[in-house]
Structure formats: structure tokens, C-alpha cells
Structure 1
Amino acid sequence: MDLNGEQNVAAITFPDTGAWDKWNTVFRTLPLSAGSNMLTLRTEGTGNGICLDYFYLWKAAGEPVLTSIRFTSPTILVEPGKKTSATVEALYSDGSTAALSREVRFVSSDEQVAFVDPGGTIIGIAEGSATITALYRQYTATVTVRVEVPVLTVDLAHTYRPVTHVASGMLYGLADEGRPADEMIAAIKPKNFTQMAPNGIHLPNEESTPTGDALKVAPIAARHGATVTIRMPDIYPTFPYRWVSWEDWYAKVTSMVKATLNSGATNIYAYEIWNEPDWTWNTAKAGPFTVGWKRTYDLIRALDPNTRIMGPSISQYNENFLRIFLTYCRDNNCLPDIISWHELGGPEGPSTPYIKEHIARYRQLEQQLGIPPLPISINEYGAQIEEGVPGYMVQYFAQFERGGVDTANAAFWFRPGRLSNLITDSGEKNGGWWLYKWYGDMTGMMAMTTPPSRGMTLGLDGIASIDPDGQMARVLFGGTDGEAVIRVKGLLAYPFFGEKVKVRVEATPWYGVDTAVDEPYLLFEGAFDVINGEIRVRLRGLKRSWGYGMTITSFDGMMREPDPIPMRYEAEDGVVNHAVVWQSAFASEGRYVGNIDFSDSYVEFSAVRVDTDGLYQLEIGYANGTGSPSTHVVTINGKSSVTVTYPSTGGWINAVPNMGNRKTVTVVVQLKAGDNTIRFAKGKGFAELDYIRVVGSALSSPDE
């Protein structure tokens, strides 16, 4: 036997077992290294053969030995139709543990409730409980799996703050007069805008001219009851900022403050001294940020003793940075009037569930440092793939409202003057605008919401309000697929609701940033008996990217039929072969298929249903950033095929800046009554595929 390249470390003799179907074992002690080892068995000139089945490794005498196994969670929760993973670990005689990933077998006590595959992936099938058993050698462990529909609980009797539309702000949401139109701004009742420094020359996201000067748009914000934050470093032309000198910075700050004072603006929320100093401050040239903050703070206060100062506006919550910053500011009399940081998602995706923890830890930090509670401004929120998407944005609303934040501004990843992607490239309302409009409709007091327990993962969440004067409760929610229950309790605290209430539920879809949505869809209106002061509204067919609005009033006997919802077939939900599913706020449902680049690449849609045989118009959402026409070969039911040509769209779906790169084409196809299978395969050039939709017969015009 050779070990790690060293020959003849050990010799093994395999005794005769008497027959080929009889087995025995032999043992050898080997000096193995931590990590990977290579064992090589070589014959030594004998003509006899062996059948080798397996080998086990375990530590020699005196080393810890395996005593049992266990699941890492005492109970596992999973939703119907969703997946989760079961993790098993080994326990050793010295109290240590180690994860087990191989040779563990899993068995479900009831596969009609919860199915488990060989790798430990658990799939919720139907509501109920099941026991999952793990088997490893002679050891076993069990865990209870509960399959539950997620429940968002609203307690109308527990109000916690007045409605102020905390999260309705935007970064560079205003460009100039008319961009966006006043009617687009008014309905969402924005609280705050963060805008470019006065007389700045900043060119954000490759804009060709400066836009969104704070003092020029302040009157627009004031018309709609909003305040403006002045982002001072945006007086520089580029981001990241290019520091010149302290003399230059002093002159710029002096100019900005004097311009603000001379403007007569009365709705300035704060001066924001710097933006994301944790990576954009030039310590080598400007010195430590804390010292730079103090020098700038003192200059502003000498010129303007009244307007509030905000900071440090770091790119993400960083407790060590904040501790150093606040300790210095406390000791040097330069504490900000408003504390700020950004919540832009983690390095691997959105991180909304962490916001609650960040706020709580920050408040603890204030107490530790003896600093009175400061207003919190999350002056940029939302990852690039989330911007404007209702199902994501409502989860931020919930965290900021419950967390007691003063203002929160949606980030600016693409174009200015579009209310952070709530308006299409042609200036129309998209699905995200309607969510913010519903938010703006809230009045009265915020009522406490409790999302389902799910750890640090995204999912169902929402906000609620109660207005006794208007005799109405509102609930906004989203973030999950499939089924959910909205439990509303505390109704007895408001006698005007009576014993029966009317519930109206609407949906605002997400078809991509640049797809207009004229009106939300009415899902249903119904009467619910109030039992023990509460109602439970079960909803099915929810979509993770959509937003949902519920209103609750006393029952008036009037009901309206639900709206028909056009059927879209999403590329990412089809069979995707040798291609990649990507996320983007510019895509329908927030996802699309790209890299359809190979001879065997295709996307196949099944169950495309029509009522009768015939020719139909098929709308295709796509992007082609090649600069030249591209094609896909479209096969219908494995037989007939047609070539669809995609004109260039000027860029790809997730391009920055994005000039409406997701476009549509329509092609005529022959479909049969019932379900059809439609496959898109690579043709000439390259194109990304977002969705398809049957919009009408070949002799009719599209239905929207």
C-alpha cells in the first residue's frame, strides 16, 4: 500500500474467504494527515485476485469515537410546495461534533405530508406533520417536520406609531421640473428625497449631464410634503469621489451651505457630509475620516447652526465603524443629528431580515456609549435586483416601520427622476408604483404585524394601518409564492367593524420596470364573519415578486367580480437546458433566462393552453444587446417550427444604465386546443428570454 506518494507504507494480505460470494475484513493502522489523503493498492507479483468492496476510516485508540447522531434543528418548518434541507451531525465521545454529509439515509414517516430525497432535501407536500429519520451506520436520529402555510399576523389593537410613510423616500427620485410628473409624485406621498449637492456636476450612472440639484428640486418636494437631504460629496463629478484637497473641500462646503441658506428652502432634512466613507473616503490624502468629519461639521455649524447634519452614511451596517465614529464624535462634540447607513443587501443577495438585528444592535450601541437615541435614516435601501419590485420592497417597508426608522430612501441603481424605478422609460406607472401608492393611501396609525418565523430568509411580510376616522384598515404584503394566510385580530377594538367585515384584496404585478400597469388586479371582495375578534384570509396562487393590498371595512353588502389576470409563461419556470436563470428588476417576475448560447441550449414552455385550434399571436419578452438582429428557432409541440427574429434592444436586460432594454416581439404560431409545448432554441446571434404570452388569435389584436 502506498500513502500520499510514499511507496510500501504497509503490506496487506487478504486471506482466502473460500468463495467469491463470501466476505471478510482486514485492518491496518496508517499515519494519515489532516485533509485529503491518497491511498494506492498495488499487487506484488501474485496471480491471485480479490474483490474489493469498501473501506472505513476511524481514529485509533485514545481518540474520540462516534457515539450518536442528531439533526441540527429540533423542528423543521417548510411550506407546501417549498424545499428545505435537513442537516445531520455526528457527536463524539469528547463532546465534539462534525457535520455528516455522506452515507446518511433519510426516511419520511408520511410522504403525503413531507417527502425527503437521498440528499436530505425535504419537500413540503401538504399541511401536517411528519417524522424524518436519519440513518448512519448503526445510529439513527429523528426530527419533526411541520408543513405549514405561512401566516402574517396583523394586530389592529396594537398600534405603535403614526402613519408617516417612512420608507417612501428615494435617492435621486427627482431629476427636474416635470421629471417625474407631479401626479406620479403626489399619490405616493414621499417623505424624503436624497439629491445632488447644490450646483454639483455629478454624473451618476453614466448620465450625460448633471441632474437632481437639491435646491432646484426642493420646491417640487415641498409641493408634495417631502423633505430633501443634500448629498454634499455629489458636488464632485464622479463616484467614487476623487478628493482634491482640504482647501478645495472647504470652498465647496462653504458654497453649498451659503447656497442653501440663500435659497430660502424650508424643507431641507439634513446635510449629508459624505457618502459611503467606509470605502470612498481617501484617507491617504484627506486623513482619517473621523477627523475629516469633525473639520467639515465645524465648518457647517459655523455657517449654519440650525440645519441638521447626517452621517456617516456607510455602505452597510458596520458596528465597529459606528463604534469608532460615534465615540470620536461624542468626545469631540460633533455627533450627527441623524444617524445613517445603507441596507443594500448582502454580498450574496438581499438581506432584509437582518435589518431588525442591525437596528437593535445600533440602539444597544447608543446605550453603551451614553448617546441619546438619534433619528435613523436608511438613506439607501434595496439591492439592484430588487429595485421597484413590490414583493421585495414591501419587506423593507415592514422592517423600517417596525424598527422605528425616521426616513428610508430606495436606492438609485439605474436612472434618475424615475422614483427609483417606479416609472417606466416612457413615464408610466409600473407595478411597483402601485405598491407605493397603496402605501401613500395609508392613514391613521400603524398596526403591528408579525411575519412567520423563518430565520434569516426572505418571505412573507407586510405592514398594516388602522384609521378609526376613516373606519378602514389596510394591509400591504408580499414576498412569497403559493399559499399564505393573513390573520387580522384586534377587530373588537373598533366597534364600527361590526360582526361581519368586507375584505377587498388587490394585486399589483411585476412585469418588469418598463412594463406599464394601468390598474392593479382585483383578486376578490368577500364577507368575513368576525370570530373572537379576528378573521383569517387564505390566499392561493401568490407570486413572490407581486405586491398585495387588502382593505377591511364594515360589510356593506356590495361585491364586485374579480378581474381576469392575463396568463404569462415565465422563461425561468420552463425547462432550461444549457442556459442560465438570472435575476433583474427589469425582468417580468424579476427573473429571466440568459446564456442561451450553445447548440443544445433551449427553454421549453409546457402547458401553454388555448381553447381552440388555430393561429395565435405569441408575444415574446426578450433582450438583444449584440447590436444586430438575433434569432431563436421556435418549435411547437415537437413538430412545426418558426424562426423568430429579435431586433437589437441596445443592451441586455440587466444593463446599467438601462434604457428599456427588455422589448417584445410578436410571432404567429399554430396551436392546438388544450396544452401546447413551445421550445425556444438558439439560432443566429444571441438573445435573452424573459416570458411568452398568447395575446390573441392571428386575426385579433393583443388584449393589452
Structure 2
Amino acid sequence: MAGTLPAAGPASAATDPQRLTVDLAASEGPVMLGANGALYGLSDDGVPSDAALAPLKVTSISQKPEGGAQHPNGDALTVSKSFFRNGGGEINVMMQDIYAKWPYEDLGIDDYLPKVDKIAKEVAADPNSERFVYIPFNEPDQIWYKLGVADQAQYEANRDRFFRDWKTVYHRIRAIDPDARIAGPNEAAYHTRLLRDFLAFAKREDVLPQVMTWHELGSGSLRDFQAHYDDYRSLEREAGIAPLKINIDEYANRRDLSVPGQLVQWVSMFERNKVYANAAYWDAAGNLSGHVVRSNIPNGGWWFFRWYAGLTGDTVEVTPPQADTIDTLQGLASLDTGRRQAQVLLGGSAGDSDVVVRHVPRSVFGRTVTATVAEAAWSGYEGQHATPRVLARVKVKVADDGSVTVPLRGMRKMSAYRIVLTPGGSGTPATPSVPWSASYEAEAAAVTDGKVYTQGTVENANGYAASGTKDVGSLNQATSKVDFTVTVPRDGTYDLAILYGNQSGAPATQRLSVDGGDPVTVTYPSTENWTYRAKKELPIRLSAGTHELTLAKGAAEVTLDRVDLTARDGVPSASYEATLADISGRPSYDYSSSAGVGTGALVLRSGDQAVFDVYAPRDGYYTVVPRASAAVRLALHGETVTAAPGRPLRLYLAAGNNRVAMTAQHASVRSLTVSGAGSTAGTLGHEADSATLAGGAELVDSAYASGGSYIGRLGNSPSSTAEFTVRAPSSGRYLLVVHYAHNDRRDNGHAYNTDIMSRTADITVGDGAPVRVTFKNTWSSDDYWTVGVPVDLRKGSNKVTFGNATAWAPDIDRIELGRVVGLP
């Protein structure tokens, strides 16, 4: 009989659980991480931030050529700097995005060839030219050549014209860049007829691409991709062509992006077949296709890709309940015998499941394993997601047949789950504290003067995702409200999270009341549109029992999707397990004890490093405690500090993800514990009105700015500057947090891309060299976001100057500085 674990959640309906089977003895080859790419995933240097980009280990992205008119940003050579410094793999250059219109202006091949020359010369001159891939044509089955037509004679005429142009452009690129790697044909959908003809032609004329590309952009791709892949490989064999690298350089629908349970379905089939894949660009550039909030904040989708990036060793065979079926339980898994870890990522279905892990090697794991189960939930496209909660951590015997069964109960369809198996060792793992939580759908509440809408179904796959596929909108009357009936188990403080949309163009409000009592105002920052969900969090005091929570219209309109209530149990805290950290060097893994928090210990020696991805809900100070056997050194924001075993440090973290690097001479490390809510005690705050302005920069009154005004018309001239005088209590490394806003965008008439633009500012401290910082669009001129910039201050007076000689800088509300290593 297989060893089993206690349920990771409450039992659901009395139906037989689904079964997903993992065979650790059936290797599929080394983990490739090919499916973590994005089309226009980067928009500027710094968008997304280094701390959001590096942990995902992105293998490929697709971007436009330098100066391309298709979008205002996302130029391949420009974003390559941040992509490559954060460990990125290669960049596909979408050459036809040199054109402005969509579909592209068809001005003939003679118009296109000079553009091809310019692109090839620029890429060939780049010092990293070998890391770029040219994609000469985009969706030729629909654009310019219409290769998807049913009429055979018309198809052949169109095909022959495309083949002539393919050969011409191929040779044109190679004449300039002899080592160029070229990808294609890059159809909008899979076409057996075209690919058979294309392979025969390309082989005969010696213009075969080095990378085969096509798009999978329908919900049916979750059913059909495997057949497409198998058919394509058979076409290669038929043509006598060795297997080409494949990149599905656009995949997924709007309803999939940001949703962990949907993403796992796509990623599992791509990784299983060892192909590369870039998620589609349906909305705004610079957020890795909907998985980074603002510039640095994870959502649920980001955490799924962080888990994916954490797979090491070989992937192994996974048998889902229903293979190649839309919106069903799917998964992928890996085994790393050196680290003595097996990991399973799964999701896509609600209800109960049993994960059966077969052929658990005794030589690697021994007779017992520790199983750790965590959940990455859907938090919206623009909704922050804290470190995924551990639901269960239990030691269990491996059965005589070498299997372990992990039961998951009450799974949520939009969530993804991670199971980590490690050797059991001695002792008893600490039971994770899982606070009480409940969710309430807006469409199931009492709606007054509003309307229920259906979103993100299989039939409307390019609609935006919604919890339960429905939300409530048109709450635009003075009497509009939604009454939620909730029941909580005890008196106390609860965290209320509201999934919402706000396209009003400014912060919007609703009035929140409990049981008809005096209302409080809830303020919602702007979002991209009514259905591009963000998450508003606030505390609420409730007594045990049933209550009616009312969200009534305030200033402007807000759409509502779902509210969550979670019991607040003390100070927020998360523990990051050392055995799951990113490593460099050759640390070893010690699972002799599974007692307490953590799956085991990571043994660091001189030359080794472990990097932890630490989440902070807001900019501020947090308590950080390394659980180690000896002193370790922590590096954060360019500052390094030594910590004795168990000694708490007060560190300043940026809102979102923070990469904390740990080194040691010799230490056994179990975890890094981070607690707190982001204290600002001891920080240096300066409002806009304290700055000295010059050259046209001016103070503008605003009800939305923290001090009642912001600095506007800053930059666009060498003389236009804002200078703050900062008095530092001590010399050292600080994080400068800039509160800013701007809403630059370009309307190019696209049906779906929101072409937002970033602004930049040059920040100078004292007489140091200016540092250029990128500030992403904040969706409205009245919503203030933050960007953190590490700076060095000397004790006493320091001048911090903002400017931009050639373009407008963002509007600045205030600045805040915190010493990276704060006083206890």
C-alpha cells in the first residue's frame, strides 16, 4: 500500500479523487525551462525590474527591432542589456514589427528589404549578436501572403510568392550577418500543408531556418499541440531533416495569463516536448505577459514561473487524468539526484486529487520522505501575491512498491500547487500554520444596480480571467452596491482582499460597511481596464458569526470579482527554505534532520552562494533571521552584512521581490525567516514641496498627492531639475524610494495592445555620476507607484537631484530613504 499524507485542505464532495501519476524512473531529459518566455515581456531597461526578471531564468523573449514603429518600446537591442545581465537566454527579433500598422502595411518586398538590411546591420554589430534570432516574417498565413486559404490554386500562388521572398530575405540577412540564426515560417496557427511544402523548399534551396516557429493561440491548443508537435516531427523525418529547435513564440489566451492553474497546462506540454515558448502579448509590454505587477511585484503567475525556474535535474514522466484535454488537471515534475529532490507542479482543475509518485529511489531518498505542499493562487493580473503559503509538511514512509501518494483536497481551479519530496531524516517537521480563509464571489452576492458579466471562458478564451468566470460591473449608479454575506469563526482582525477593476482614469472609491454600520472609504488605484484585475487589501475587525459586508459606489465606478477573508494571526511572516534557494558554487545538501521548518539544510562553504527571493508587501523595514549553524553574510541592494546564527537583522526591503544573497565560510543553513509589515520608523521622508525646483519644474496642487502637491514639468531640458536635501544620520547604503506618477501612452489603433510608455529620470547624489532610472506608466496621472534605487549617502547633508535633459521625467510626489541595514 502506498504511503499517504494528510489532506492539504478540507475534503470536498464524496467523489473519487483524480489521480496524477509521476514516474521518477522515466526520465525525459534535462530540465530545459523553455516555456518561460514572453512576447514583449520587456519594455525598457528596468521594466520589469532586475529582481523580478532574474529569478525566472527566462530562456527566450521576442521583441521588435530597434526603432520599430509597431510599438513605442520593447526594442530588442535596448532591452537586451537588462535581459542578459539577468541571465536571459536569447532574443527573437520580430523584424516585421519595424512597420507601424497591424496588420502590417503591405508595401511589397522592395520596401521591406532596406529595413531588413538596417536590422541585420544593427544586430550583427551588437557584442551579443550570437544571442539574437531573426524572425523575418510574422504570421504569413494571414498577413501579406494569406497562406491559409482553402483554394489550392490560390494557396500555391501565394505560397510561391512567400517562398521567393523567404529566400530573398534569408540571403539578405546572411550576407550581412553570416552567422545569423533565422527562425520561421512563424504561422499564426499550425498548418501541415504549408510546413510540408516549406521544409521541402527550404531544404532544396538551402534556406532552412535554424529555429522552427509557429503560434498556439487558441484554447484548443491545450488539446491539439501534442498532435501538432508529433505531426511536425514526422514532416521533418519525411523530408530527411534533422530535428530543428522549436519555439512556439506566441502562446496562450488572455484568460490564461496570470492564472497559475491555466499556465501549468501550457508549460507542462511544452516542457514535456522540450520546446521553447513565449507567452503572447495581449495587453501591455514590460510585465512578462501579465506576470509582474507594476515593475517589481509578483502575482500568482510570477510565483508559478518562479517554481518552474526552480526545477533542476531531469524532468520525468507525468500521466494526468486526461491527457491533451482543455482545462483539466495537468502537471510536470523533476528529479535531481544530486540535490536529492523531486518536485511536482500541477493544477488546472478543482476538487480532490491524489498525486502518486512512483519509483522513489531508496538510494536517493531512503525509507522516508518529507513532502512539502504549497499553493500559488490567482491574484489577478495586477494583484500582488505574497510568498506562496505552505499547506502541509509531513514525513511519510515510502511504500514497499517504492511509491508515495500525496493527497490534495479542495484544490482550486485557478491555483497551481507544488509538491517537493526530500529525504525524511530524523525528527518531525513543523506543521505549517495555515490561517482560516474563505472566498466569496461577487456574482453570488446580492447585487443592486449592477450587472453580472461572464468572462474568460473556453468559448471566449481571449476574454480576461475572472474568478468563477463571472464578475460584477456597471456599478455606476448612486445606489449601486454589492452585499456579501460572510461567516467567520472567531472574533478578531481579518485581512480583506478585494479583486477589482478601475478604468475611471483616477483613484476610485467605494464605501465599505459591516452590518449596515458607518461606512469607511476604500480607495482603488487605477488598472489597465475594467477586467484587468488588481487586488486591494485592508484589515477589518469582525466578531464570530455571520455578517453582511457592503461595498457601495463612491467616487467613480469599480468592478468587483471576488473578496477573500483571511484570519490575521500575529505579525506576517514567511520562511524561505535554503534547500530550495538558487545556488552557485558547489554547496551540499544535508537531510539528516527534518525537524522544524525547512526540508533540510544547505551547507555553504567558501565560494558558495544561495539566493533567496523575498517578498515584501510594501517598502519598509522587516526582521530577517537566518537559521544557520554559523555566521553568514547577507547581500541586499549592494550592501553586505554579517549575521550571527539566529540573530535578527532589520533590513529595508523594496515592495515586491528582493533578491537576498547568502554566503558563509562554513555554515549549515535551514531557512531565512522574514517577518513584519514594512515599518517606516527611522526612514527619511521628503515631500515634493521640500525640493528646490529650477528650469520650469513646478509644484502642482493635487488632492491625490501625499503632501497635497507633486513636482510636475520636470525635465525636458538640462536646466529643469528638482533637488532634495537629505540629512543622513550615518554614512552608508540606502534605498531611495521614489513615489511617482505619469500616464504616457501612444494610441496606435491596435485592437488589443495598450501601448503604454515609460519615462526616465537621471538621479544624482552629491557630485556623483547620474544614474538613469526607468519609471513605468502608472495607468493614471493621479496614482502613485514606487521605484527603489540603491544610493550611497554620507553622514550629514546630501543633495539628491532629479532631472532629464531630453525628455519629461515622471511627476514626483515624495521620496523616502531607508538605510539598507537599519538599527535594531
TM-score, normalised on structure 2? 0.59
How far off its partner does 1:630 sit?
A: 7.5
The one-letter code matched in structure 2 to 1:491 is V
Structure 1 contact 627–648 (Cα < 8 Å) conserved: no
2:282 to 413, 425, 431: 413
Any gaps of 5 or more consecutive residues in structure 1?
Answer: 1-123, 128-147, 204-208, 656-660
**Residue 270 (1) aligns with residue 147 (2):** no
How far off its partner does 1:373 sit?
A: 2.4
> Using a 3 Å threshold, how does the CA distance of structure 1 residues 246 and 545 change in structure 2: closer, same or farther?
same
> Using a 3 Å threshold, how does the CA distance of structure 1 residues 693 and 456 change in structure 2: closer, same or farther?
closer
| Structure with greater proportional strand content | 2
**Residue 306 (1) aligns with residue 165 (2):** no
Alignment of 1:229-240 (within 5 A): 229-240=92-103
- Deviations along 1:111-133, one digit per CA (max 9) or x if unpaired, are xxxxxxxxxxxxx9533xxxxxx
> In structure 1, what is the Cα distance between the partners aligned to 2:329 and 2:114?
49
The one-letter code matched in structure 2 to 1:592 is D
1:482 to 351, 359, 376: 351
Structure 1 contact 572–581 (Cα < 8 Å) conserved: no
Cross-structure match for 1:676: 547
Cross-structure match for 2:536: 664
Cross-structure match for 1:293: 166
Structure 1 contact 482–542 (Cα < 8 Å) conserved: yes
Cross-structure match for 1:496: 364
- Deviations along 1:166-188, one digit per CA (max 9) or x if unpaired, are 11222222233322222322211
Structure 1 contact 605–677 (Cα < 8 Å) conserved: yes
Cross-structure match for 1:653: 530
Structure 1 contact 571–593 (Cα < 8 Å) conserved: no
Alignment of 1:574-589 (within 5 A): 574-575=444-445, 579-583=452-456
The one-letter code matched in structure 1 to 2:309 is G
How far off its partner does 1:683 sit?
A: 8.6
- Deviations along 1:596-638, one digit per CA (max 9) or x if unpaired, are 57999875534432523x998855432243458978787866x
How far off its partner does 1:302 sit?
A: 2.6
> In structure 2, what is the Cα distance between the partners aligned to 1:410 and 1:182?
19
How far off its partner does 1:430 sit?
A: 1.9
- Deviations along 1:305-338, one digit per CA (max 9) or x if unpaired, are 3222111111222323333433443444322221
> In structure 2, what is the Cα distance between the partners aligned to 1:548 and 1:616?
25
Q: What SS is found at the alignment partner of 1:201? A: coil
Q: What SS is found at the alignment partner of 1:379? A: strand
How far off its partner does 1:682 sit?
A: 7.5
Aligned sequence identity (%): 31
How far off its partner does 1:339 sit?
A: 1.2
1:210 to 46, 58, 73: 73
> In structure 1, what is the Cα distance between the partners aligned to 2:486 and 2:86?
50
User: Which is further off, 618-627 or 415-424?
Assistant: 618-627
Q: What SS is found at the alignment partner of 1:280? A: coil
Q: Using CA pairs below 8 Å that are at least 6 residues apart, which structure has the higher relative contact order?
A: 2
How far off its partner does 1:286 sit?
A: 12
Alignment of 1:441-452 (within 5 A): 441-452=310-321
Alignment of 1:624-703 (within 5 A): 624-626=502-504, 649=526, 652-654=529-531, 662=534, 664=536, 673-678=544-549, 686-694=557-565
1:528 to 396, 400, 412: 396
**Residue 553 (1) aligns with residue 422 (2):** yes
Structure 1 contact 568–693 (Cα < 8 Å) conserved: yes
> Using a 3 Å threshold, how does the CA distance of structure 1 residues 507 and 668 change in structure 2: closer, same or farther?
closer
TM-score, normalised on structure 1? 0.69
Structure 1 contact 228–267 (Cα < 8 Å) conserved: no
> Using a 3 Å threshold, how does the CA distance of structure 1 residues 576 and 159 change in structure 2: closer, same or farther?
farther
Alignment of 1:112-123 (within 5 A): none
> Using a 3 Å threshold, how does the CA distance of structure 1 residues 640 and 187 change in structure 2: closer, same or farther?
closer
> In structure 2, what is the Cα distance between the partners aligned to 1:679 and 1:673?
18
> In structure 2, what is the Cα distance between the partners aligned to 1:602 and 1:255?
57
> Using a 3 Å threshold, how does the CA distance of structure 1 residues 616 and 158 change in structure 2: closer, same or farther?
closer
> In structure 2, what is the Cα distance between the partners aligned to 1:459 and 1:428?
29
- Deviations along 1:557-591, one digit per CA (max 9) or x if unpaired, are 34122243563524257247652232366766886
The one-letter code matched in structure 1 to 2:499 is G
Structure 1 contact 219–265 (Cα < 8 Å) conserved: no
> In structure 2, what is the Cα distance between the partners aligned to 1:489 and 1:649?
48
2:487 to 597, 600, 608: 608
Cross-structure match for 1:172: 40
> In structure 2, what is the Cα distance between the partners aligned to 1:604 and 1:616?
18
> In structure 2, what is the Cα distance between the partners aligned to 1:374 and 1:601?
57
> Using a 3 Å threshold, how does the CA distance of structure 1 residues 373 and 211 change in structure 2: closer, same or farther?
closer
**Residue 126 (1) aligns with residue 2 (2):** no
Cross-structure match for 2:117: 254
User: Which is further off, 586-595 or 222-231?
Assistant: 586-595
Structure 2 contact 222–324 (Cα < 8 Å) conserved: no
Cross-structure match for 1:622: 500
2:248 to 361, 378, 395: 378
**Residue 468 (1) aligns with residue 346 (2):** no
Cross-structure match for 1:367: 237
Structure 2 contact 51–296 (Cα < 8 Å) conserved: no
Cross-structure match for 2:260: 390
> In structure 2, what is the Cα distance between the partners aligned to 1:233 and 1:174?
18
> Using a 3 Å threshold, how does the CA distance of structure 1 residues 341 and 606 change in structure 2: closer, same or farther?
same
Cross-structure match for 1:87: none
How far off its partner does 1:686 sit?
A: 4.5
> In structure 2, what is the Cα distance between the partners aligned to 1:149 and 1:258?
58
Structure 1 contact 625–648 (Cα < 8 Å) conserved: no
Larger gyration radius, structure 1 or structure 2: 1
> In structure 1, what is the Cα distance between the partners aligned to 2:345 and 2:314?
14
**Residue 329 (1) aligns with residue 202 (2):** yes
- Deviations along 1:455-485, one digit per CA (max 9) or x if unpaired, are 6231211111111111111111111212111
The one-letter code matched in structure 2 to 1:662 is A
> In structure 2, what is the Cα distance between the partners aligned to 1:512 and 1:685?
21
> In structure 2, what is the Cα distance between the partners aligned to 1:164 and 1:217?
21
Q: What SS is found at the alignment partner of 1:653? A: coil
Structure 1 contact 621–692 (Cα < 8 Å) conserved: yes
> Using a 3 Å threshold, how does the CA distance of structure 1 residues 420 and 677 change in structure 2: closer, same or farther?
same
How far off its partner does 1:497 sit?
A: 0.8
How far off its partner does 1:367 sit?
A: 3.3
> In structure 1, what is the Cα distance between the partners aligned to 2:233 and 2:494?
60
2:51 to 183, 189, 202: 183
Q: What SS is found at the alignment partner of 2:63? A: strand
Cross-structure match for 1:72: none
> In structure 2, what is the Cα distance between the partners aligned to 1:305 and 1:436?
35
- Deviations along 1:127-166, one digit per CA (max 9) or x if unpaired, are 3xxxxxxxxxxxxxxxxxxxx3111111010001111211
The one-letter code matched in structure 1 to 2:545 is G
> Using a 3 Å threshold, how does the CA distance of structure 1 residues 498 and 417 change in structure 2: closer, same or farther?
same
